[in-house]
Amino acid sequence: MTTETLPNELYETQLTEKATRLNDMMAAFRAPTAEIFRSAPQHYRMRAEFRVWHEEQDLYHIMFDQLTKEKIRIDHFLPGSELINRLMVAMMDALRPSPVLRRKLFQLDYLTTLSGEAVITLIYHRPLDDEWREHAGALRVALREQGFKVNLIGRATKTKVCLDRDYADERLPVGGQELVYRQIENSFTQPNAGVNIQMLEWAIAATRNAGGDLLELYCGNGNFSLALARNFRRVLATEIAKPSVEAAQYNIAANGIDNVQIIRMSAEEFTQAMEGIREFTRLKDIDLTSYNCETIFVDPPRSGLDDATVRLVQTYPRILYISCNPESLCRNLATLGQSHTIERLALFDQFPYTRHMECGVLLTAKKSINPATN
């Protein structure tokens, strides 16, 4: 997608196809018709990765066609944020005349925010020496003089050179509040900020009258934890990736939130702890019995929930499930649907013009359930 504009009917067609496909998939579980949350038709991606192609004295971004494997020159990237597009031009203008910075440069990764901050990672097939650091430092200064609030990182085999900092701080308006989210380079963040805001507001609305405490698995940098904290007495959240946990801890403090507790452990480990299979020192200072969790929130990887975690999730009266893979969601619903009813279904168009679908379901128990942490 390198043209300057996309026809609106193209977006409408792809969105209608997704909605039909999701509703058909969920019909077996007697789900209500999906609520549809639209993306901006272009400039919606806040992060992007490009291979760098060297051609004599020229240098440019490329992608590969997934079907033909043909390389496609990318000078403008309509899915990318407007900031990504401006940075792409500025980076090529700076790199082309610099033998030091362009030598064996393999890839450029861009992470941008609605708040105007950016992180650019330059990935090389060679060691990064002092000369590279000097020229990269000069590049960072030149970009900032052009008005870009940007940080640069160099990566090579077993090497990461951070010239200033390896994160950008995002600020999102969510449900009448501005939330600060530290986003760390090479860690997961929601790619479509506009749709992410809609996801957060949908989750807030779905749990507005829930009360009690919330248990969250796969919390990442606290994306949902911070937004949902307003609806619950306390939030107990788990995440295994250390950079994401550190970002979540920063985000809790930066937003002045005092009712969210993050535990560094996987969903599988937490399930084992709850079932008494293993003891973890990370839980020694946390009184799980003090939590009255009647709601559990899960946002698992594409593989969905493993069988043991499904059984744990099933013990809660209210389940909020965000899925990046409706196929694995359906596998989990085959079990969860035995004890719970789908009250709400939502389609979040995170990735326009692809077959990828992000969706959310709210399930409530068909009969009284004693929460696992009650």
Q: Quickly list DSSP for 277-320.
A: S---GGGTT--GGG--EEEEEE---TT---HHHHHHHTTSSEEE
Out of 170, 239, 293, 324, the active site residue is 324
Q: CB of 98 within 8 A of CB of 135?
A: yes
Residue 117 among the catalytic residues: no
| Helix (H), strand (E) at residue 118 | strand 117-124
* Per-residue b or e along 150-180, where b marks 16 or more CB atoms closer than 10 Å to that residue's CB: bbbbbbbeeeebeeeebbbbbebebeeeebb
Tokens coding 368: 């009284």
Between the alpha carbon of residue 27 and those of residues 55, 302, 347, the distances in Å are 52, 21, 14
Burial class (CB in 10 A: 0-12, 13-18, 19+), 32: middle
Contacts of 48 (CB under 8 A, 6+ apart): 77, 79, 80, 84, 109, 110
Dihedral sign for Cα atoms in the order 181, 185, 187, 193: positive
What region does 252 belong to: left with phi over 0, alpha with psi -120 to 50, or beta?
alpha
Contacts of 117 (CB under 8 A, 6+ apart): 149, 150, 151, 168, 169, 170
Residue 358 among the catalytic residues: yes
Calpha distance 93→102 (Å, rounded): 11
Tokens coding 77: 């990237």
Q: CB of 71 within 8 A of CB of 64?
A: yes
Tokens coding 217: 């698995």
Out of 185, 239, 358, 359, the active site residue is 358
Q: CB of 208 within 8 A of CB of 320?
A: no
The catalytic site residues sit at: 324, 358
